[in-house]
Amino acid sequence: MSLPILPPKEAHRLISEGAALIDIREADEFARERIPCATNTPLSKLDSTDLKTGDAVIVFHCRSGARTQANAERLAKSVGGKAYLVDGGMDAWKRAGLPTERKAGAPIELMRQVMIAAGLLVLAGVILGTGVDPRFYALSAFVGAGLTFSGVTGMCAMANILRRMPWNRQIRTA
């Protein structure tokens, strides 16, 4: 089972006629930038959220359209009525000149924070291993092992640590 894909302007028309727009990105992404009328139902919480709305039309979106398309079957099963996907997600929505809201000062998305921190730690391990002591290469190996573990299990210790940092606390309570 798949969901029909709508161009952003057609999705905008449906929404203006009463369709509900659901953003399946995580809360940290939603907090930074969103489509004004969207409701946030993160994909990670989809199974515990009741989206059965009878005959109501639902339009799903993410940032690029990749998450919605990859999870179209799951999204289709979560609703009772008609549902659609925004082709190209919020990126295409913005390219079509449709409105979004940005929160000034919101932290960058958590997974980007993880990539930055992991990259800096690997780089530091290589630089220190080359210039100071070869034992610093272990730092790069440790980060690589952690990223591999995260990819295999879906659990990321670095994301859990970063989520608790002061600049990310506002998102947890939002």
Active-site residue flag, 37: no
Catalytic residue, chosen from 62, 83, 106, 143, is 62
For residue 68, CA distances in Å to 17, 42, 102, 143, 146 come to: 22, 11, 21, 30, 28
Q: Are strands 5-6 and 83-86 parallel, antiparallel or unpaired?
A: parallel
Quick one: which H or E segment has residue 172? helix 169-173
Q: Which of 167, 29, 9 is nearest to 88 (CA)?
A: 9
- The residues near 161 (Cβ < 8 Å, ≥ 6 apart) are none
Active site residues: 62
